[in-house]
């Protein structure tokens, strides 16, 4: 080694070696042993949390939501400020059917990281289910804006001009943009569709298709929703409500579980059905011809088919007019029968019902009341419960929690089922309600896997009905309607409140408030 090089290597100013502590442990210069050990502990804790989150996500993908929940809670113990841990807990709680706990955890995840893609998409889903459409859009905004973080935009003419920056070319704005997150845009479009926002909805769809973010089933659904909204652009205010209160008679259809009443549709006396389940309104083709309504175009709606769409000038109940109702033209003969001798003229869907403050269905009194504004307080003796709508892309399933036989277990039930019993549940929900396996042995319907049971009480919060018949669906073959919704929505749906029980209740639906009031017979 030359003298010059040796002097350089041993110069104190250039030495960056390790200092020694009193016990001889070497530590980097400028740090104490305690600081190094603290950093090591933090690094180990972070590695543990990351591993737990990874394993929890694998559990969620495999349907092991209880295991995912345990791992998420363990990760949270290690780091109470970890957004991903709250996201895992929120996802697991949703799968378990605990809406309140899921929403609380997801709100915390978004609070800790407002740009978290997974947390904002999941929380927006929860909020849409409870009718909070604008809040769901607000939650998504920061995550969507974050797509452009660190993205280098540049001018473009064609898609290939943006390949080097891993983006897509907005050929209208002639600028490269960051890749589009499909789930966040679906969340936006679904909210705009339910709100019938004819400008914002198609704009989201355009962004999806220009960026090539969707194909297959998703592209089909998005295109149908966007085409439907476009058909009503420039048609003025839609679903405009005149009058504070509307009233009519009321019954519930034995074949479908839908409510129906007398109404005047476009000036013609008719029957109007009310369906939270169906998103769009449907008007009968013969009534359309009689009223001379012109088609605004054809749309192909996901899982439903191709329809002409029209604008129904008004649907009138006593004291209230609902004007400019977007609707698809349909053959409603399928609804004629049972206790509805003639087909309805129109089925008012979720888009219309969401605009109303409340729909009061007093089944014992055969009375329907519609209000423009939401009531300020529940009637005396009414129980307030959450009302959620599980999104199946082409229908929205209305659900609320019930309890049976004095159990503290909440069974989320489809409100308005058509089984012959007052209530019906899965075997899982029935056993969780403090029953024993022997209680559902020897089913009367072996092939269908159905066991008849006597239900001492059905509780809607503090409102209860005593002594009703029930059906328990065993695991095999199961109940296809519930199984299909669970598979699609990923939410633990456990039963139905069927027509025989619905007819005993007075139910105030408030879809845009995410709640329902239930009054049971005294």
Give the burial class of 134: count Cβ atoms within 10 A of its Cβ; 0-12 exposed, 13-18 middle, 19 or more buried.
exposed
Paired tokens of 447: 């092939």
* In a domain? residue 42: no
Quick one: CA dihedral 357, 361, 362, 367, positive or negative? positive
Which residue is it, tokens 């104490």? 32
The encoded tokens of residue 115 equal 């740009």
Mean pLDDT by runs of 10 across the 522 residues of the chain is 33 39 54 69 79 90 92 93 96 96 98 97 98 98 94 91 92 91 96 98 93 90 96 97 98 96 98 96 98 97 91 98 98 94 96 98 98 95 96 92 97 96 97 97 94 98 97 93 92 97 98 97 86
208 and 328 in a single domain? The answer is no
Q: For residue 56, tell me if it sits in a domain.
A: yes
Domain identity same for 315 and 421: no
pLDDT at residue 44, rounded to an integer: 72
pLDDT of residue 10: 34
Residue 414 confidence (pLDDT): 97
In this prediction, residue 21 carries a pLDDT of 47
How far apart, in whole angstroms, are the C-alpha atoms of residue 33 and residue 39? Answer: 10
Cα–chain-centroid distance for residue 418?
23
Q: Based on the domain organization, do 91 and 188 belong to the same domain?
A: no
The pLDDT, as a whole number, for residue 1 is 39
pLDDT of residue 9: 31
CA distances from 325 to 269, 368, 380, 386 (A): 17, 20, 34, 27
> What integer pLDDT is reported at residue 3 of this predicted model?
31
* Last residue within a domain, chosen from 348, 371, 394: 371
Range of the domain at 179: 159-230
What value, to the nearest 5°, has the Cα angle with vertex 94 and ends 216 and 517? 110
Are residues 313 and 246 located together in one domain of the fold? Answer: yes
Report d(CA 285, CA 42) in Å as an integer: 68
In a domain, 494, yes or no: yes
Residues 334 and 402 in one domain: no
Q: Count the domains in the chain.
A: 4
As a whole number of angstroms, the distance between CA 505 and CA 518 comes to: 7
Domain-terminating residue out of 320, 336, 371: 371
| Residue 147 resides in a domain | no
pLDDT at 86 (0 to 100): 96
Asked whether residue 284 falls in the same domain as residue 256, the answer is: yes
The predicted pLDDT at position 123 comes to 98
Q: Phi, psi at residue 6, to the nearest 5°?
A: -65, -40
Does 403 lie in the same domain as 473?
yes
pLDDT of res. 19: 46
The answer to whether 451 touches 440, Cβ cutoff 8 Å, is yes
11: in domain: no
- Neighbouring residues of 214: CB distance < 8 A, sequence distance ≥ 6: 182, 208, 222
Q: Is beta strand 463-473 parallel, antiparallel or unpaired with respect to 423-426?
A: parallel
The answer to whether position 2 is within a domain reads: no
Closest residue by Cα to residue 440 from 409, 472, 469: 472
| Encoded tokens for 87 | 């996201």
Burial of 12 (0-12, 13-18, 19+ CB in 10 A): exposed
Residue 498 lies in a domain: yes
| Residues 353 and 448 both lie in one domain | no
CATH code of residue 93: 1.25.40.10
User: Which of 142, 175, 193 corresponds to the end of one domain?
Assistant: 142
Query: What is the spatial distance between Cα 416 and Cα 252, in angstroms, rounded to a whole number?
Result: 9
Return the closest-CA partner of residue 225 out of 310, 282, 302, 296.
302
Co-location of 122 and 211 in the same domain? no
Residue 355 resides in a domain: yes
Residue 424 tokens read as 């019906």
């Amino acid at each position: 080694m030359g003298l010059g090089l040796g002097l350089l290597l041993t110069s104190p100013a250039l030495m960056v070696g390790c200092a020694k502590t009193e016990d001889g442990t070497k530590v980097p210069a400028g740090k104490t042993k305690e600081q190094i050990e603290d950093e090591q502990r933090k690094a180990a804790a972070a590695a543990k949390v990351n591993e737990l989150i990874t394993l929890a996500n694998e559990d969620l993908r495999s349907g092991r939501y209880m295991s995912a929940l345990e791992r998420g809670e363990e990760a949270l113990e290690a780091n109470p400020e970890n957004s991903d841990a709250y996201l895992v807990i929120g996802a697991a709680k949703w799968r378990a059917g605990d809406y309140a706990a899921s929403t609380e955890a997801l709100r915390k995840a978004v609070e800790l990281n407002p740009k978290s893609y997974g947390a904002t998409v999941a929380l927006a889903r929860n909020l849409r289910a409870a009718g909070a459409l604008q809040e769901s859009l607000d939650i998504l905004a920061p995550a969507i804006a974050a797509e452009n973080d660190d993205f280098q935009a540049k001018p473009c003419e064609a898609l290939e001009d943006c390949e080097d920056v891993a983006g897509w070319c907005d050929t209208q704005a002639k600028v490269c943009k960051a890749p589009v997150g499909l789930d966040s845009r679906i969340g936006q479009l679904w909210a705009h569709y339910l709100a019938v926002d004819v400008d914002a909805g198609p704009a989201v769809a355009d962004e999806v298709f220009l960026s090539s973010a969707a194909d297959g089933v998703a592209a089909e659904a998005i295109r149908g929703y966007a085409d439907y909204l476009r058909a009503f652009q420039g048609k003025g205010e839609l679903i405009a409500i005149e009058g504070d209160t509307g009233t009519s008679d009321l019954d519930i259809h034995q074949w479908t579980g839908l409510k129906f009443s007398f109404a005047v549709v476009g000036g013609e006396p008719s029957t109007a059905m009310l369906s939270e389940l169906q998103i769009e309104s449907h008007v009968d083709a013969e009534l359309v011809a009689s009223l001379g309504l012109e088609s605004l175009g054809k749309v192909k709606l996901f899982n439903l088919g191709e329809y002409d769409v029209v604008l129904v000038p008004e649907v009138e109940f006593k004291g209230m007019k609902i004007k400019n109702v977007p609707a698809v033209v349909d053959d409603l003969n399928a609804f004629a029968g049972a206790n509805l001798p003639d087909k309805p003229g129109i089925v008012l869907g979720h888009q219309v019902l969401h605009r109303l403050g409340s729909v009061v269905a007093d089944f014992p009194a055969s009375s329907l009341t519609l209000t423009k504004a939401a009531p300020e307080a529940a009637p005396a003796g009414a129980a307030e419960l959450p009302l959620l709508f599980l999104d199946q892309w082409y229908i929205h399933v209305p659900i609320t929690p019930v309890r049976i036989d004095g159990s503290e277990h909440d069974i989320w039930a489809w409100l308005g089922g058509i089984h012959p019993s007052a209530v019906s549940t899965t075997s899982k929900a029935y056993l969780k309600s403090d029953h024993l396996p022997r209680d559902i042995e020897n089913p009367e319907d072996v092939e269908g896997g159905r066991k008849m049971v006597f239900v001492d009480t059905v509780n809607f919060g503090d409102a209860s009905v005593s002594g009703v018949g029930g059906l328990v669906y065993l695991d095999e073959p199961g109940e296809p309607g519930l199984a299909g919704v669970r598979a699609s929505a990923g939410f633990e749906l456990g039963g139905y409140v069927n027509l025989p029980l619905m007819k005993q209740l007075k139910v105030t639906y408030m879809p845009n408030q995410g709640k329902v009031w239930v009054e049971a017979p005294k």
